[in-house]
Chains A and B, each alone.
Chain A
């Protein structure tokens, strides 16, 4: 860790093929945020189509907005910050992609969307958001950057493996984008890719290959996170002194490690169905376009659903657990109180992690599942809601009696509590077979899980970004811009997702490219489609404040303070940004639990007691 040890690394080794967990974390973060933006744009196109079916999409407006943002970044970055200017390529890239969508007869002939292309957008929106956006942001970015710092480690346990998992993820992402340019376009069978439709639909082959890369990346990452957490904790960092964020990352890594292999096998089997003529998921006598397809048959389409959901239900917890960890950090820090029920949180986490493997088939009630099997999955689903409520209750009790600071990250964290509450409670009817059979194929399901992942996970990631941004560059993000961003995002998200619940209960089917124009029973709720479209525009426009905020803050020189939030956990025990090699000047030693805010010490109340600060106790 001393100065003379490390030779100066070249630009490529420093910024592109770095082994430093902080650089890899930033790479993950930047890539994942770009994919979130791309997934968001796909959704904007879909929502425009749903609100104004059959009308010309104002694609030129989108393209111009993105080009404008790109040039603004180049201008603000100036000559001295080429790395920042490089980020404008993300915006030019998305502008180019939208422009590409509007050309060509098989996508938007004359600016009017074809149903096949709508299906592509739907499948790719889900895939990009879940596998390329939220998971890499939650685990790859936040986990990579923050976890080693919070446990006082010099780096991840396997730095080369860490770099490999980023690049494998990157290749997977590039392949996903490339699939738009292939003949037949991208996958169009939904992010769940149910067989036998996905076995015979166009675009699926590249999706499967890309998924295999993404799965490989997650598996490598998961091994790294577990080994790092178990092996590289600083001296005195016992299990129950770990910050709760570390616990969530650890359980998340176990979910990835043990759940992802089933989709790996599923993806390989579906790929073999497509390219080797196997019929793992194909029953005999499938007819397409009036012709019986030449498959041996004998396959079981439900097998795919089992393999898929055995992964994808734990995957839902992969999306939300790191978010809960971030929120816990932000709420304890800003209510200036120790976490109310730390052991309860940890035990709940274990129970959620364990149960998430045995509830998965509640996604499959409408497949004609027998009542005995359905009873098992309903029961476990009801049980798993208990620890989820424990999380919420503990966070609310932590607020009680605290001296709350309404900082920007805290606003996001506070908004997260009711948003996650809505998301969780709307899930209960879906966990019981009778209401699920009515609601399953409606917008209600879309509304429910978007409340979990958009105002749930993504709001939490915003909280985390605002909270840890000073750790990354030494400056807090601007508070005014942050608050504008917060209110716009929160209202916009509710404007999009609350109407979905209403539409769903009215019986409006999901997956219809025109929103269900021909159905009488949904006419009373059709007008909500327009609201949702403008809500999604609102979300988009207010993200500009966020992007602007980040760029303006990154322009600032000379970091100000190391611990601007007066936090206690170890990531603030080093400089901001942390040292490039080894993170800490001297290896930190931990003396106490993670959230010692306003605790009595030697007869007076200490505003905050960092984990690494040694205090001589008097009686």
Chain B
């Protein structure tokens, strides 16, 4: 049994099921990260002024702005290669798709490597963990949840780069749709980081 409008758009709504589904998922994600920002704001304005032991630090002094900025650049670059891989499929250039998608995955992994080896591990070695204070708890929670989204993205993109790419032979249209949907998710993860970076590193 075929579910209608999996590949083609429904005429009166102008949408395919997967694309509509991913946008609903992203709407839910907006509320998910929205709750995080609410928590961040409330905990931060509820914290005492600096001489107090529980005062929040000036964040750019605790976190390495340069590493954060480099990671921002990496994610933006991966977003660009992601959309280029989709354009390549639209142009029916499968080899270009493989190249750009591969680059996206490499950049995503690079982001995680920087995040874990250059940020998390040195901080933990310095004894800055979740129980240190709420600033670090919030930092680990927000970046950790974002990193989980990155990992999820890598799994999905790697699947489409590797075994999932077989679909290009049998059903190129559906495969292009899948890449578009995966791309929407990936850009959203990038978008979240664009807000996380100033919130955590600069302010």
> Which A positions have Cβ atoms within 8 angstroms of B?
1, 5-6, 154-155, 157-159, 219, 222-224, 226-227, 230-232, 257-262, 264-266, 268-269, 272, 276-280, 284, 295-300, 303, 306-307, 310, 581-582
Contact = CB atoms under 8 A, between A and B. Distances in A.
B130 A261 contact: no
Contacts of A268: 141, 145
A299 B25 CA distance: 30
B65 interface: no
Contacts of B21: 157-158, 223-224, 227
B27 A258 contact: yes
B171 interface: no
A299 B141 contact: no
A615 to B, nearest CB: 24
A391 B129 CA distance: 52
Q: Across chains A and B, which 10 residue pairs bring their CB atoms closest together, nearest first?
A: A277-B131, A261-B32, A265-B35, A278-B137, A261-B31, A298-B54, A278-B130, A276-B130, A262-B35, A298-B134
Nearest to A260: B28
Contacts of B5: 231-232
A257 B27 contact: yes
B203 interface: no
A219 B3 CA distance: 21
Contacts of B47: 298
Interface stretch (B36-44, B68-76, B87-95): B36-44
A300 B42 contact: yes
Contacts of B38: 262, 303, 306-307
18 contacts: A154-B2, A154-B3, A158-B3, A231-B5, A231-B10, A231-B13, A231-B20, A232-B5, A258-B27, A266-B35, A269-B141, A272-B141, A278-B130, A278-B134, A279-B134, A295-B131, A300-B46, A582-B1
Contacts of B63: none
B65 to A, nearest CB: 24
A280 B137 contact: yes
Given A158-B17, A227-B17, 15 more contacts: A222-B24, A230-B20, A231-B5, A231-B13, A231-B20, A232-B4, A258-B28, A261-B31, A261-B34, A262-B31, A278-B141, A279-B137, A284-B54, A295-B131, A303-B39
Nearest to A277: B131
A221 to B, nearest CB: 11
Contact of A261 (B1, B17, B29, B137): B29
B180 to A, nearest CB: 16
Contacts of B36: 265
Nearest to B134: A298
A262 B35 CA distance: 5
A296 B24 CA distance: 38
Contacts of B39: 265, 269, 280, 303, 307
A5 B1 contact: yes
B132 interface: yes
Nearest to A19: B1
A262 B34 CA distance: 8
Contacts of B35: 261-262, 264-266, 307, 310
Given A280-B39, A298-B43, A227 B20 contact: yes
Contacts of B141: 268-269, 272, 278, 280
Contacts of B2: 154
B15 interface: yes
Contacts of B145: 268
A298 B138 CA distance: 12
A296 B131 contact: yes
A230 B1 contact: no
A386 B137 CA distance: 43
Contacts of A155: 1, 3
B60 interface: no
B184 to A, nearest CB: 14
B196 to A, nearest CB: 14
Contact of B28 (A159, A232, A261, A278): A261
A265 B30 CA distance: 12
B26 to A, nearest CB: 10
Interface string B102-133: 00000000000000000000000000011111
Nearest to B10: A231
A232 B1 CA distance: 14
Given A261-B31, A272-B137, A296 B17 contact: no
Contacts of A276: 129-131, 137
A354 B42 CA distance: 24
A157 B137 contact: no
A224 B22 CA distance: 10
Given A226-B24, A262-B35, A280 B3 contact: no
Contacts of A279: 131, 133-134, 137
Contacts of A227: 17, 20-21, 24
Contacts of A5: 1
B64 to A, nearest CB: 22
With a 10 A CB-CB cut-off, give which of B24, B36, B43, B138 has the most chain A CB atoms.
B24
Nearest to B19: A227
A230 B13 contact: yes
Given A227-B17, A280-B43, A303-B39, A296 B54 contact: yes
A219 B28 contact: yes
A280 B134 contact: yes
A266 B141 CA distance: 11
B84 to A, nearest CB: 28
B3 A157 contact: yes
Contacts of B15: 230-231
A358 to B, nearest CB: 14
A266 B36 CA distance: 9
Nearest to A226: B24
A226 B38 CA distance: 27
A299 B1 contact: no
Contacts of B29: 261
A112 B47 CA distance: 46
A60 B137 CA distance: 49
Contact of B43 (A6, A159, A300, A310): A300
Contacts of B138: 280
A277 B134 CA distance: 10
A495 to B, nearest CB: 41
Contacts of B46: 298, 300
Nearest to A302: B42
A276 B34 CA distance: 22
A276 B137 CA distance: 9
B73 to A, nearest CB: 28
Nearest to A220: B25
A257 B28 contact: yes
